[in-house]
Amino acid sequence: MSLPLPVDPELAPWLSLLPTLDVGDAAAARATVEAMGAAAPPFTLPEGVELSEHRVPGAVGAPEVPVAVFRPEGAGTALPAVLYVHGGGFILEEGDGDRALAARWAAELGAVVVSVRYRLAPEHPYPAATDDCYAALEWLAANAAGLGVDPARIAVAGMSAGGGLAAALTLLARDRGGPLPCFQLLDIPELDDRLETPSMREFTDTPVWNRPNAVHSWRAYLGADRDPAAPVPAYAAPARAEDLAGLPPAYVAVSDLDPLRDEGLDYALRLVRAGVATEVHLFPGTFHGAAGFVPDTAVTRRMSEGALDALRRGLAVRSRPSPPEAV
């Protein structure tokens, strides 16, 4: 594998161990992800976090949407909340890795974290995933009191395709007059179906995610039978939105060696120009999903802690006091 830019030295030894994903073959890619999950340590809830499973009403004519709710035990009411949308190129689920991240956020933030299991492409093309995620957002807002959530402190957060879906949710909520989140976290987001940015053209063989996977991902999500001349709505590809004004404050993080890098940076700059308070981070020497595959390096710890700290600030969560030093 040839990389046009140097990978972080701590990440380099892991390159040969990373999975090879071809989402053009959805069944094979899902089998690879499932095998990785089976080989990983089993998911366990952090101490002090409780989990409940729910099925919430879907869009009109659509099935119910499964959600997992992670909540700090005995935390009381008026808690901040995060609607978390997993990645996977619109095609894959992340399984226990997804649950572990949501549970960690609940523990670290003292927040209710709702993880949505949306329908996947290519079996369910747009707008299935968007509809499912918006239904989960509406349910969270409508049931804030019963969940012990402060309705004024609900954020949306997503990674990769989930980042694109999270961005779409803020556009939908703004345009429909729905429950507008107070904050949006877009981590390595997949936003633009046009595949025309310099990084998308350049990174054809980068680890985990590359241009061929992006092509297959959008083809599956938009529908293989779609008329290529038909317009693509911004609720499918948020980079196409003409007006970004009135959206919630944002944190946008991108990876250096990722074909999605430039569309994330472009979207962040457009948010800034639209008057949206936006924090942007580019992590040098990292590839798509590096923090999930290799969590214990200096740069990937910065990636994970940066997202957590952004949520902490976006939700107005007080930092926990440091324990007293031993005498």
Cβ–Cβ under 8 Å, residues 217 and 227:
no
CA nearest neighbour of 154 among 142, 163, 162: 142
CA distance 138 to 181: 10
307, 315, 164: which is closest to 240 by C-alpha? 164
User: Nearest to residue 109, comparing CAs of 59, 166, 60, 70?
Assistant: 70
Helix 95-109 and helix 298-314, axial crossing angle in degrees, nearest 10: 60
Residue 256: closest CA among 317, 294, 303: 303
Q: Report, as residue numbers or ranges, the catalytic residues.
A: 160, 258, 288
Nearest to 220 by CA among 118, 131, 92: 92
Structure tokens at 269: 């700059």
Tokens of 49: 């976090």
SS3 285: strand
